Chains A and B, each alone.
Chain A
């Protein structure tokens, strides 16, 4: 195969995945149809994740007006927002609850898309950008957790940073130093301090939002170009028009989600789910309170990390990540029934680790 043929094949491959001839209102909106079947509810998960992302952007911008990214003022500024700014507690709670809701929806969207074989040709780009968005969402969660500069935030971040450095012991030669270098670059100083807060703040409010804008743009474009995947093995008997019927249903789901979020944010401070010492300002000279752990959406990695050797988790995480990225090629010939079973197994694992992870940990360690 000469260079010209190779180039032509590559061009054909890309144009099949991004069909520019479909980039018009007719194809992307007016004539687009959504299949109707027993799994149609799953088509709303991505929209819900997008809705919670928009809430994050709006509430995050509002918080930016008052938040101070310095170790001396960060906690006080968050307290000021909660106690003295009109509607501050509501906005902060909405930001906190919506972040959890967004991550839940992104995970649910990924699992349902996997179960419905939504990565099948020609939707590989949609799938890969979706996996990237999942990682960016976790990045948002990890960096945002530090910003209030309270006990649980700083101490959990320290654990996270130590985990990065630990990777080095399993890498050969000079590569063993790379994780430490990455840790130093992100951390900015010997321990988690002002440089870390500044960097996490920059990553949280500039770097990750810009990345989301780019990757999400490509993800949404790919969805509009190819339409929703069929979702089931047999051909769907009914379809509905994307515009206006599916859009109207999507907006209705968004409004219900907004109402739920508003009521929860107004009535249930997210701190109430934890012990109060965890939300005291971080004091490097004071004692570390019990119960330091990451946010709930990291429990599926955190508790196994506490129980099993580090290399097992490292190997497992990299394997899962590789499988996720290569899913369109690895599961090309796999039936949707098998994929559904795999997705259910993954969902069960995540639910068990999130809800019972702490009990399992104590069971293994033989503590109370």
Chain B
């Protein structure tokens, strides 16, 4: 059992090394493009599990991975062609989604023209279900996995349409409430004034 685990660990580390573990880094070209294009500050958390990127020993960084996670990383790094299931422990759902959709070869190619990444992504994909496509969120510098983050006007329109029945109900309830309250106050006013008239 121990020998099997040791073998697994050796193979995993070997595979990880073969795919460039020693010089592991994210692709800052994409981050630089988003910042320039959207004029918003973004960090590695858009695609990576750790906001400070894949380098380091913290959770979601290469130095802090378990043997099982290293194995998953190796498999993810072998996903050169699109369509393969990707579950890299250093990437978040959006990062894995990109590699699954376009493959690692294309992703590395696009480093020199990161603006084309949005065109390569599925325009209907919306991982956080906030009404703004992942590709659009990538261009606008908002997080594709946070439904509270996005273009404020787009979020407002989407949420307004989705919550229209609740909004109409609260309008009716408020109007009915204020109508009743106004009549109640007028009734009180009449009661208060009556004794003065009697006098």
Task: Give the docked Cα–Cα distance between A50 and B91 (Å).
Answer: 47
Q: Which 4 A-B pairs have the closest CB atoms?
A: A269-B148, A267-B159, A290-B41, A244-B189
Write out the residue numbers on chain B whose beta carbons fall within 8 Å of the beta carbon of A259.
170-171, 174
A276, B146: Cβ atoms closer than 8 Å: yes
Q: A244-B189, A286-B52 are in contact. Are A252 and B178 (CB under 8 A)?
A: yes
Tell me, yes or no, whether B141 is within 8 Å of chain A by CB.
yes
Collect the chain A residues with CB atoms within 8 Å of residue B150's CB.
Answer: 272
**A285: contacting residue among B58, B149, B159, B177, CB under 8 A:** B58
Describe B's contact surface by its main secondary structure: helix
In whole angstroms, what is the CA distance A364 to B45 when docked?
32
What is the chain B residue whose CB lies nearest that of A245?
Answer: B189
User: Chain B residue with minimal CB distance to A31?
Assistant: B196
Given contacts A251-B182, A255-B174, A276-B143, A289 and B43 within 8 Å (CB-CB): yes
Asked if B177 and A272 sit within 8 Å, CB to CB, the answer is no
Q: Do B155 and A269 have beta carbons less than 8 Å apart?
A: yes
Give the complex CA separation of A291 and B152 in angstroms: 18
Q: Which residues of A contact B142 (CB under 8 A)?
A: 272, 276
Residues of B within 8 A of A30 (CB): 192-193
User: Which A201-251 residues have a C-beta within 8 angstroms of B?
Assistant: 241, 243-244, 247-248, 251
From A82, A243, A277, B43 is in contact (CB under 8 Å) with A277
| Inter-subunit contact A276/B42 (CB<8 Å) | yes
Residues from chain A with a CB closer than 8 A to the CB of B146 are 271, 276
**Within the assembled complex, what's the spacing in Å between the Cα atoms of A269 and B128?**
14
Contact of A276 among B45, B170, B186 (CB under 8 A): B45
Give the total of B residues in contact with A, Cβ under 8 Å: 40
Q: How far is the CA of A237 from the CA of B142 in the complex (A)?
A: 55
Tell whether, in the assembled complex, residue A277 and residue B45 are in contact, meaning their CB atoms are under 8 Å apart: yes
Cross-chain contact B185 with A248 (CB below 8 angstroms): yes
With a cutoff of 8 Å between Cβ atoms, the chain B residues found around residue A273 in the complex are 152
By a CB distance below 8 angstroms, the chain B residues around A268 are 152, 155-156, 159
> Across the interface, do B185 and A247 meet the contact criterion of CB distance under 8 Å?
yes
Shortest Cβ distance from A266 into B: residue: B163
B residues 27-61 with Cβ under 8 Å of A? 40-43, 45-46, 51-52, 58
Q: Which residues of A contact B40 (CB under 8 A)?
A: 275
A-B contact sample (12 more), CB < 8 A, given A244-B182, A276-B149: A30-B193, A243-B192, A252-B178, A255-B175, A263-B160, A269-B148, A269-B155, A272-B150, A276-B142, A276-B143, A283-B51, A289-B41
B181: chain A residues within 8 A (beta carbon):
251
B residues engaging A (CB < 8 A)? Answer: 40-43, 45-46, 51-52, 58, 141-143, 146-152, 155-156, 159-160, 163, 166-167, 170-171, 174-175, 177-178, 181-182, 185-186, 188-189, 192-193
A280 at the interface (CB under 8 A from B): yes
A52 to chain B, nearest CB (A): 16
Residues of A close to B152: CB separation below 8 A: 268, 272-273
- Residues of chain A contacted by B149 (CB below 8 angstroms): 269, 271-272, 276, 279
Verify if A258 is at the interface (C-beta below 8 Å from B): yes
- Tell yes or no: A104 within 8 A of B by CB: no
- Min distance, Cβ B79 to any Cβ of chain A, angstroms: 26
Cβ 8 A contact of A244, one of B45, B46, B156, B188? B188
Query: CA–CA, A268 to B188, complex, Å?
Result: 39
Please determine whether A266 and B166 come into contact, CB atoms closer than 8 angstroms.
yes
Which of A244, A252, A266, A291 touches B41 (beta carbons < 8 Å)? A291
* CB of B10, distance to nearest CB on chain A (Å): 31
Complex: chain A residue closest to B163, CB-CB: A266
What is the CA–CA distance of A291 and B186 in the complex, to the nearest angstrom? 52
The answer to whether B163 touches A272 (Cβ under 8 A) is no
Q: Tell me whether A5 is interfacial, beta carbon within 8 Å.
A: no
**Neighbouring A residues of B141 by C-beta, 8 Å:** 275
In the assembled complex, the Cα of A268 lies from the Cα of B175 at a distance in Å of: 23
Closest Cβ of chain A: how far from B25's Cβ, in Å? 15
A68 to chain B, nearest CB (A): 20
Q: A244-B188, A244-B189, A262-B170 are in contact. Are A267 and B177 (CB under 8 A)?
A: no
Please indicate which of the listed interface residues A243, A258, A268, A279 has the most CB atoms of chain B within 10 Å of its own CB: A268
